[in-house]
């Protein structure tokens, strides 16, 4: 009925749905933290891009099709969200990690922008 070539073509016809992930943004003592909910995503499926002061998060859940599947009605998600960063963020010191589908991005302030205690003479 179907040959392997037909199967490969059918597998590529999955629907792609773009979703804005739920994000929490909090201020820390040294800067800001973004926590994005990316269910089903691992480190390999997450991409962070920083360009012209805009941080873009993109992620795709890990979906593995069983060999020999002829049709797949599963909807494929693409998580995507962008954040414009302030000039007080040290863009060279941004760090990120993914654990259990939660992306945590640390956005430290530049040293010159961090609060400091001024001692009285």
pLDDT band at 89 (very low <50, low <70, confident <90, very high): very high
Calpha distance 29→104 (Å, rounded): 16
Per-residue confidence (pLDDT) for residue 1, from 0 to 100 = 41
- Residue 64: predicted pLDDT: 58
Q: Mention every residue, 6+ apart, whose C-beta is less than 8 A from residue 40.
A: 61, 62, 63, 77, 101
**DSSP 8-state secondary structure symbol assigned to residue 110:** P
CATH topology of domain 14-62+74-110: Immunoglobulin-like (2.60.40)
What pTM was computed for the model?
A: 0.74
The residues spanned by each domain of the chain are 14-62+74-110
| The pLDDT value given to residue 115 | 74
**pLDDT value for 6:** 42
Tens digit of each residue's pLDDT (9 = 90 or more) over 90-113: 999 999 999 999 999 999 999 877
């Amino acid at each position: 009925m179907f040959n392997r070539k037909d199967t490969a073509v059918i597998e590529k016809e999955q629907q792609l749905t773009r979703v804005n992930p739920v994000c929490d943004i909090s201020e820390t003592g040294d800067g800001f933290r973004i926590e994005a909910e990316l269910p089903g995503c691992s480190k390999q499926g997450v991409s962070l891009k920083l360009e012209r002061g805009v941080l873009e998060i993109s992620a795709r859940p890990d979906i593995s099709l069983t060999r020999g599947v002829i049709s797949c009605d599963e909807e494929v998600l693409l998580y995507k969200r962008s954040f414009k960063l302030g000039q007080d963020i040290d863009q060279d010191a941004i760090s990120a990690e993914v654990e259990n589908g939660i992306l945590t991005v640390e956005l430290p302030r530049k040293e010159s922008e961090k609060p400091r205690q001024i001692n009285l003479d």
